[in-house]
Homo-oligomer: A and B are copies of this chain.
Amino acid sequence: MTNKKPVSAAVIGLGSMGLGIAKSIARRKIPVAGFDVNANAVASLSACGGIAAASAADAAKNRDVVVVVVVNAAQTRSVLFGDNGAAKTMKSGGVVISCATMSPDDARGLERDAEEMGILYLDAPISGGATKATDGQLTVMASGAPEAFDRARPVLDAIAGKVYELGGVAGIGASFKMVNQLLAGVHIAAASEAITFAARLGLDLGKVYEVITASAGNSWMFENRVPHVLDGDYSPRSAVSIFTKDLGIVSDMARREKFPLQVASTALQLFLMTAAAGMERDDDASVARMIAGVTNVALPSPKNES
C-alpha cells in the first residue's frame, strides 16, 4: 500500500551526483526540491524541473524522502541535524537516503539520531558516477529497516539501476562501500604504477592498454582510468582527494579492528604523495603523473592544449 501513495522528495547536495539524482527523480514526476551551498547548483536544479530551496530545512519541508548526497559523514550530520537541518522539517516517519561514503560507525550514529527524531534512515552509498546518476542507473549498496526501504522505494526506483538490500540496520551498506573503495583505490594505484613502469620499459602504452584489458591483469579501474593517462587529461572526473578520504576511512576502520591492510595502506601513501605534490583536486589517475614525475618518465601530453 505504502508504495502506491504519491511521494515527495528533496535532494540535499547538488554536485554532479546530487543533481543527476534530482533529475532522475523529477523525470518520474516525483516533486523534488533541492538545496546546495552553491547557488549555481541550485539554479541548475530549477532549470530541470526541481524546486530551488534556500536551506536544507526549506528543501526538506514536509517531504517524504530526503536524499543526502554530500561528501562525508560530518556534512551529512550537519545538513540533517545542524542549524536549518532537514530532520526538523521533513515529514515525521519520512526516510533519509544517506549516500555519502562513510564509516559504518558514522552510519550507525546517524541512524540512531534519526530514529530519535522519528525519522527512518537508509545507509545507502552509491556507485556509478555522474552519467549513471543522471540516467537513474546508479548502484545502491543499502542497509536499513524494511520500512525504510518500503518508504524510499519510489525514489530508489527512480535513481538506481540496481539496489542491493544488504541488511536490516545501518552500517552494512557503508561496510560494503568501504570494501569496494579499498579495492578501487588499490587498483588505481596499481594501474598507475604499472602504466608508468611500462613507459619506463619503453612499451607502446596504447598496446599495453589493449593487451592488459584483454588479459588477467585487468581491473575495472585500469580500464576506466588509464585512458586519462593515455590522453594526458587529468581534469577531475573523480579527484585524488576522494581516495585520500576513502582509503583514510578504510585505514581508520582497520586500525580500530586491529586488522593489517598492507596493500591498501601502501596505496593510501601513493594518493597522499600525489596530494602532497599539489594534485589533490586533479583526477585520481594523477597518481601515475606523480610517479612519472619522481622517476622522470615521460607520459603522454594532452592532445589538445588550450
Contact = CB atoms under 8 A, between A and B. Distances in A.
Question: Which range contains the number of A residues in contact with the other chain?
Answer: 35 or more
A180 B264 contact: no
Given A182-B193, A216-B220, A218-B220, A262 B266 contact: yes
Given A211-B180, A214-B162, A220-B218, A193 B262 contact: yes
Given A176-B203, A180-B216, A189 B295 contact: no
Interface in A201-228: 201-204, 207-208, 210-212, 214-222, 224
Interface of A: 104, 127-128, 139, 141, 162, 164, 166, 172, 175-176, 179-184, 186-187, 189-191, 193-194, 197-198, 200-204, 207-208, 210-212, 214-222, 224, 253-254, 257-264, 266-267, 269-270, 291, 294-295
18 contacts: A127-B215, A139-B215, A164-B210, A164-B211, A166-B211, A176-B208, A179-B201, A179-B212, A180-B215, A182-B193, A182-B217, A183-B218, A183-B222, A186-B263, A190-B263, A200-B257, A217-B220, A262-B270
